[in-house]
Amino acid sequence: MLEYSVVSIEDVKELATAMKMAYSEEPWNEKWSDGKAERRIRAIMDGYEAMGIKAVSDGKLVGGALGFVDPYAEEDFFFVSEVFVVPAWKKKGVGKALLSELESHLKKKGIRTLQLISIDYNQEFYKKAELKNDCVSVLYKEI
């Protein structure tokens, strides 16, 4: 049985470990060092009004959804920086439940809009979680 709760600073190492595991597989095949993964989690959690939700099974963290408040002219958005689930728990509804729990907490804070950036591979998942494409494009430049 999974339990969902708000993350705390004490969860950084476990969140980093779970994120590393999640991104070690297709389509990412990324090799995160412990230090870099912890730095990523801390960078997100140091954001303005940052928060996250974790999924825990038998005392072990198996997924997380992390982000921060993005103030804008007429309303605040919540920018989701990371959603990850360890391989053994993928395709079991954990990611969708993490987003749903996050939404519940955000509604209590008066935040009504989530934003995130996704790779094409994850588009189907986010559609199932009722997110839709915006008119905004992500631009980048390697320097």
- What is the dihedral sign for C-alpha 129, 141, 76, 109? positive
The model's pTM? 0.91
Instruction: Express each pLDDT in 35-69 by its tens digit.
Output: 999 999 999 999 999 999 999 999 999 999 999 99
Q: What is the DSSP letter of 38?
A: H
Distance CA(96)–CA(79), nearest Å, equals 16
Beta-carbon neighbour count of residue 42 at 10 Å? 14
What pLDDT is stored for residue 81 in this prediction? 96
Q: 3-state SS of the chain: helix, strand, coil percent to 5?
A: 35, 25, 35
Instruction: Express each pLDDT in 84-130 by its tens digit.
Output: 999 999 999 999 999 999 999 999 999 999 999 888 888 887 888 88
Domains of the chain by range and CATH?
2-128 (3.40.630.30)
